[in-house]
Chains A and B, each alone.
Chain A
Amino acid sequence: MAGAAGYAETMPLPPLPESAIALAAHASDWRQAVEVAGSALERSGATLHSYTARMVEMIDEFGAYIVIAPGLALAHARPGPDVLADGLSVVTLVEPVAFGHPHNDPVGVVIGLAVATPDAHVTSVAELANIFNDPGAIPALAEAATVADVQRIMSAGKEEAER
């Protein structure tokens, strides 16, 4: 279970093409911030527009629990026919927005995630821990100036797992 064997079971994160990255985006509230992350997933070919709406619905239904660390929201919904391929998107906001989380607001970085099957969801989401257990990762993403910066930060988990 836990330990080295457990880490090896995590699957790689979905690809992060340039089309799925939006730097210094403008959003006036959390809804718009999630929609930017959803649009990036759509642009990369991972999802249809209804998936973006479903990500917003998750927060309407359950609250701001997707804000899992100071400044970071992990927008996602359940797998469905509107997920065409596993996908990941990264959005940084010029002006951070409040999601309504008691400790982790405001949010300046939104990760969008879509996967086709529940199993892939669990294993690839876990891979995000390899990136963000480094406390420097969220501030580094928030300040990323180029797409290449973002891709470099988001590939850190891979090196961590191989170590």
Chain B
Amino acid sequence: MKIVAICGAGIGTSAILKVNAERVLDRLDIEADVTASDVASVRTTAADAQVILTSPELVDAIGATNADVVVIDNYFDLSELEAKLEAALG
């Protein structure tokens, strides 16, 4: 299972998304590799990803992909992350 957290620079907000996604996956007892990346390299970094986590503002920039694009509004709301990840992975 591969999950990619995407942000504009690949080294800012995606890091928060990554660490909180790992917490939620741990809680759900799901094994997954979560990486942080940026919009510019999404084609490469998310080529084999099942799930892309990102902001509503970046969905258009990510464009067409085989991965499930999961949009997170509040990066610090673990229950939002848990519900959306569970729906995408379940």
Contact = CB atoms under 8 A, between A and B. Distances in A.
Interface of A: 1-3, 6-7, 10, 58, 61-70, 74, 76-79, 100-104, 113, 118, 121-123, 125-126, 128-129, 132-133, 135
A10 B19 contact: yes
B26 A78 contact: no
Contacts of A123: 15
Contact of B76 (A6, A7, A103, A129): A129
A78 B11 CA distance: 7
A66 B73 contact: no
Interface stretch (B41-49, B51-59, B82-90): B51-59
B9 A69 contact: no
Given A2-B26, A65-B57, A58 B9 contact: yes
Contact of A68 (B16, B23, B34): B16
B21 to A, nearest CB: 8
24 contacts: A2-B34, A6-B19, A6-B26, A7-B19, A58-B9, A62-B58, A62-B61, A63-B57, A64-B57, A65-B7, A65-B13, A65-B54, A65-B55, A68-B74, A69-B75, A69-B76, A76-B12, A102-B57, A121-B11, A121-B12, A122-B15, A122-B36, A125-B12, A129-B75
Interface string B5-31: 001110111011011101101100000
A6 B23 CA distance: 9
A74 B12 contact: yes
B68 interface: no
A121 B36 CA distance: 11
A125 B15 contact: yes
B19 A102 contact: no
A64 B73 CA distance: 11
A7 B22 CA distance: 10
Given A76-B9, A103-B73, A122-B36, 4 more contacts: A1-B34, A69-B75, A126-B15, A135-B76
Contact of B56 (A6, A76, A101): A101
Contacts of A67: 57
